[in-house]
Amino acid sequence: MNLKLKIKDLLLICLIYFGFTSVFNAQNLDKDCFKTGADRPELYLPLLKNKTIAVLTNQTGLLKDRTNLVDFLIKKNIKIKTIFAPEHGFRGDADAGEHVKNGKDLKTEIPIISLYGDNKKPKPEQLKGIDVVVFDIQDVGVRFYTYISTLSYLMEAAAENNVEVMVLDRPNPNDGFIDGPVLKPAFSSFVGLHEVPVVYGLTIGEYGKMVNGEHWLKNGVQAKYTVIPMQNYHKKQRYDFLEKPSPNLPNAKSINLYPSLCFFEGTQVSVGRGTDLPFQIFGSPWTKDFPYQFTPKPSRGAKDPFLNGKLCFGENLAKKNLDLREINLKWLIAAYADYKNPNESFFLKNLFFDKLAGSDILRKQIIAKTPEKEIRKSWQKDLEKFQKIRAKYVMYED
Report the CATH fold assignment for 41-240. Rossmann fold (3.40.50)
Q: How far is it, in rounded angstroms, from Cα 281 to Cα 296?
A: 11
22 torsion bin: left (phi>0), alpha (psi -120 to 50), beta (else): alpha
Give the pLDDT confidence score for residue 20 in this predicted structure. Answer: 38
Q: How far is it, in rounded angstroms, from Cα 304 to Cα 296?
A: 9
Q: How far is it, in rounded angstroms, from Cα 233 to Cα 221?
A: 30
Distances (CA, A) of 316 to 264, 286, 294: 14, 16, 9
Give the pLDDT confidence score for residue 100 in this predicted structure. Answer: 52
Contact 365, 329 (CB under 8 A): no
What are the boundaries of each domain within the chain?
41-240, 252-367
Distances (CA, A) of 349 to 123, 266, 267, 346: 33, 9, 9, 9
Closest CA to 78 of 38, 132, 158, 136: 132
Give the pLDDT confidence score for residue 117 in this predicted structure. Answer: 81
Give the pLDDT confidence score for residue 104 in this predicted structure. Answer: 86
Count CB-CB contacts under 10 A for residue 97.
11
Distances (CA, A) of 244 to 58, 170, 279: 11, 13, 13
Task: Give the helix/strand (H/E) hosting 352.
Answer: helix 352-357
pTM: 0.89
**Burial of residue 52 (number of CB atoms within 10 Å: 0-12, 13-18, 19+):** middle
Contact 254, 229 (CB under 8 A): no
Give the pLDDT confidence score for residue 24 in this predicted structure. Answer: 33
pLDDT of the chain along its 398 residues, tens only? Answer: 454 444 445 444 444 444 433 333 333 335 569 999 999 999 999 999 999 999 999 999 999 999 999 999 999 999 999 999 987 667 544 454 444 556 888 888 999 999 988 889 999 999 999 999 999 999 999 999 999 999 999 999 999 999 999 999 999 999 999 999 999 999 999 999 999 999 999 999 999 999 999 999 999 999 999 999 999 999 999 999 999 999 899 999 999 999 999 999 999 999 999 999 999 999 999 999 999 999 999 998 899 999 999 999 999 999 999 988 999 999 999 999 999 999 999 999 999 999 999 999 999 999 999 999 999 999 999 999 999 999 999 999 88
- The residues that bridge with 8 in the sheet, in sequence order, are none
